[in-house]
Structure 1
Amino acid sequence: MAVTKKFLKTKPVCKVTFAISAPEAAEAVLVGDFNEWDLTSTPLKKLKNGTFKVVIDLDTEKSYEYKYVIDGEYVNDDEPEALIFNEFANAENSLLAL
């Protein structure tokens, strides 16, 4: 399960569910353009099956770079829509287009 999108009909917002499987991990955080890469603002909740999950509202008509931080290690989505090289980070980030 990677990212699922639910577009709202009444406003230019999409409810985006981010999920990543990490059964051995203690914690996971979502960071990206939408939260200024803040390690404290978007923690994921660990489910009983070992998947970490969070739902956030994002503006449509935009693209967002993001990564997961699992037990302190930055990782890309298992199934991203695309990967994009970020010169600032000197690494690839997952890309989400809405």
Structure 2
Amino acid sequence: MLERTRRKDATDVTFILPADHPTGEVSVVGDFNNWQAGIHPLTIRADGMRAVTVEMPAESRIAFRYLAHGGHWFDDHEADGHDGANGYLHT
């Protein structure tokens, strides 16, 4: 799930996943962090979901994916689209 909060010059994007699927640590990676795992790990929230919020430049197209423990890559079904290799969103 994706939540967006638009501000004047940026958009805060919150990436949200269930706490138990997939199991283990999950990071969101993409253009915004040079595809480096561990920079934006999802953490457990009070509602039992895992999430991380990343500030993105306004009016941009951002490619991203999730990387789970064990090298498991997966996409977000709520992405604005997919280009064959990655999901993307518009901020």
Question: Which TM-score applies when normalising by structure 1?
Answer: 0.80
Runs of 4+ in 1 over 3 A off after TM superposition: 47-50
Structure 1's 32 and 16: CA in aligned 2 closer, same or farther, altered over 3 A?
Answer: same
Match of 1:80 in 2: 79
1:80 offset after TM fit, Å?
Answer: 1.5
CA distance in 2 between counterparts of 1:35 and 1:44 reads 14
Match of 2:88 in 1: 95
CA contact (8 A) 1:23 1:50 kept: no
Q: Which runs of 5 or more structure 2 residues have no equivalent in the other structure?
A: none
CA distance in 1 between counterparts of 2:77 and 2:34 reads 22
Q: Which runs of 5 or more structure 1 residues have no equivalent in the other structure?
A: 86-91
What RMSD, in angstroms, separates the aligned Cα atoms of the two structures? Answer: 1.7
- Please say if 1:14 is aligned against 2:11: yes
Once the two structures are aligned, what percentage of the paired residues are identical?
26
Question: Which TM-score applies when normalising by structure 2?
Answer: 0.86
1:79 offset after TM fit, Å?
Answer: 1.9
Structure 1's 50 and 28: CA in aligned 2 closer, same or farther, altered over 3 A?
Answer: farther
Amino acid paired to 1:80 = A
1:84 offset after TM fit, Å?
Answer: 1.0
Which of the two has higher C-alpha Rg?
1
Partner of 1:34, secondary structure, is helix
Partner of 1:64, secondary structure, is strand
